[in-house]
Structure 1
């Protein structure tokens, strides 16, 4: 934690002003031991990635972070309520609550159980505002990233174990409940099931690879930030190696695109002659290792997986045309239901226009679930985080991964994406609050002349 603080201090004016101003923000209302807070933050990061399926063990929550958010939001609110300002209430909490109320009251055709995602989307956005305060006020961002990285290691391990001992993992919430035999029998009888996708694309704790791949990819933000602050690019290289190994099971391209974008951004931000030399040596070493074991057939499975998804997919051009069509039609459905629309109704409307019942887009899916207002707040926070000149790199890496993932799948109901959007929103509006109202006050102290 000290190293992280020193690194941030050394970056000087490249950081948002509120980071240096954190000592001037009110402290928590109750004195909690720093070690306890650090453990709490670590495990929130861990469970965001390794998001145990609590519904499998009989609880009324779908995933463990849903339970943690609802159980600890009163605690965080009480602890850090003094950090709230009239500005942040006016520009964030009040509009968010207003849009939530509109969606609750006026959404069209919402089916049984569908309000769960709407409510959790709202609570995640509130929760991670206060959680972001914790990360900066208590200097725990690096600890959070270590927790996320550890969760990624755990969840990818479960992905591979799931192919062997699924029946033992699922009752513990360590795998998505899935009866492969029943799904195959139904398919043989002409009955199509959404779970049929999992036969081809393994998902581990998620329903299928199209959910798992992007969720795993967001751990790249933590890996890149740790590699940057620790000046150890090998940390991101390790993440990349494990992620590409998981791709052989998930077969999800959007996650690969997100990871590569995060990696490229990390490389550009931290480019140096030393990094260039390390990259060259890494490629040479990798080539030698692959050349040595390639004749043994060890990479046959990997080669087949990548060829199947990137080289031999004859439907790529049709897929692009289909997605463009569904997105354009998706906007029409969104404007016809500005406060949200239930899954069955919007699927029927989309199917009439495009013969496909999904827009394959997370921003549109957010509008369907929670209304246009929520969609606009989420989009604004993500793009502000990416394009704000002075930034904390973790949030930029995270936002970049979310934006790319949202271009391919309806991921708004995935708790990993809910958490990362909540972090982006919390970070954005804390920064805006400082720039609009607190900057001049703090500048009078004379310590923030380099922090616009």
Structure 2
């Protein structure tokens, strides 16, 4: 795989070549992998039905881990990389045992991350096969489409809490309930979370463009993302998908078409600037004005995020094995005036320990510097995930928890200096 200068997208779409000696995938294997991708995006709240898991994806490792361990090729590969895998497991167990100021529920997310990591060590091997990566990407986009439909249904006033397709609001403060209505979340708590979950689905759309050369796949995904924007009011989740869209169109569409599209966008911007009107749906126009034009809190928002991130780093240094959620929020309120550091890597350090966060950062750097070693789907996942981590406390979200686990697993399973294909042989 050749990567374009700057490492953003491959130099040209091309069909991946199966890894020699890799794991042979049956139809059921591909269906299970597709189901994992689907469940991450269309993540039903299983706690609604009295199950001991918050989300559907939290329960799946108990099914997929024993299923794939039956594959001798997977087991032998994991045993060969037992040391780095074991180190990550020990770091997570240390946080479970020694996290400070633990209250009820404070260990859940670290335990889920541990389960996701074990699951991801198997999936990393399976995703080396084009059939495995294709299945995961297709499942993710199907889940994205389903979750988008849930969001649209919620905007129409359809009540979906009873069937596990909405977050219950019982017991929440009235101000937060109003926030959830202003920034609709659909399956997720609020638009600030949903926008980034939908953005991460772009990794699968970009991967399928790479595999097939069909830019229409990514354009259709981005159109869905635009449909969600007036409902979620989340602008940060648009940034990286929009940049990748421009790069893909630049490679897939004629210069004339790109210039024509740019001229239309510029014309709409000039018309809106001069008259306050643009020929786009009223709800989309309102969202654009609210989030990009009339946002008077942008400067203070940036300063607040910087202050809270600095406070979060100080707190993480004080509690290297993690800190309970209530204690974290209370101390951040005293230090920075807000209860979140607005940075998912910092909250990962507070949630599961500083060394786990550092291991994730090391894995991210390795993947970015050597994308051909880890494969296009893992590379695109990192590419789409990292910008979102800088905006919100997404380490509490299962989609991003799985993303953390996938990076940790890829770094642990893939031997330095060896291509991914060679690891499977």
TM exceeds 0.5?
yes
How far apart in 1 are the matches of 2:139 and 2:423?
36
Partner of 1:43: 35
CA contact (8 A) 2:155 2:231 kept: no
Q: Does 1:23 align with 2:20?
A: yes
Secondary structure of the corresponding residue to residue 52 of structure 1: coil
1:407 to 375, 390, 405: 390
CA contact (8 A) 1:411 1:417 kept: yes
Per-residue CA distance 1:9-57 (angstroms, 9 max, x = gap): 3xxxxxxxxxx6x4335x57xxxx7111121111211111111111112
Matched, 1:343 2:325: yes
Q: CA deviation at 1:250?
A: 0.5
Q: Which of the two has greater helix per residue?
A: 1
The equivalent of 2:360 in structure 1 is 378
Cα 1:111/1:398, change in 2 over 3 Å = same
Task: Name 1:16's counterpart in structure 2.
Answer: none
- Corresponding position of 1:89: 82
1:108 and 2:90 matched: no
Q: State the distance in 1 between where 2:408 and 2:77 align.
A: 16
Residue 223 and residue 437 in structure 1: after superposition, are their counterparts in 2 closer, same or farther (change >3 A)? closer
Correspondence 1:356 to 2:338: yes
Aligned CA distance change for structure 1 residues 232 and 331 (closer, same or farther; 3 Å): same
For the residues of structure 1 that align with 2:162 and 2:193, how far apart are their CA atoms? 20
1:136: how far off? Answer: 2.0
Give the 3 Å change call, closer, same or farther, for CA 440–245 of structure 1 in structure 2: closer
1:299-378 superposed matches below 5 A: 299-378=281-360
1:296/1:406 Cα in 2 relative to 1: closer, same or farther (>3 Å)? Answer: closer
Partners of 2:395 and 2:354 in 1: CA distance: 13
1:431 aligns with 2:414: yes
In structure 2, do the counterparts of structure 1 residues 366 and 243 end up closer, same or farther at CA, with 3 Å as the change threshold?
Answer: same
User: What is the aligned partner in structure 1 of residue 120 from structure 2?
Assistant: 128
Counterpart of 1:175? 166
Unaligned runs of 5+ in 1: 10-19, 443-452
Unaligned runs of 5+ residues in structure 2 are: 1-12
Specify whether residues 261 and 423 from structure 1 end up closer, same or farther in structure 2 by C-alpha distance, changes over 3 A only.
Answer: farther
Query: TM-score of the superposition, structure 2-length normalised?
Result: 0.86
Q: Is the 8 A contact 1:107 1:339 kept in 2?
A: yes
| Match of residue 9 from structure 2 | none
Tell me how far apart the structure 1 counterparts of residues 323 and 368 of structure 2 sit (CA, whole Å). 29
Task: Indicate the RMSD between aligned Cα atoms, in angstroms.
Answer: 3.0
- Between the two proteins, the alignment pairs up a number of residues equal to 405
1:375-434 CA distances to partner (integer Å, 9 max, x unpaired)? 112222223222325353322221122211111111112111122222233333333356
Aligned position for 1:67: 59
CA contact (8 A) 1:262 1:400 kept: no
Cα distance, 1:440 vs structure 2: 11
| Deviation at residue 282 of structure 1 after TM alignment | 5.2
Deviations 1:259-300 (A, max 9, x none): 224435x53xx8547454453455578899999xx9997522
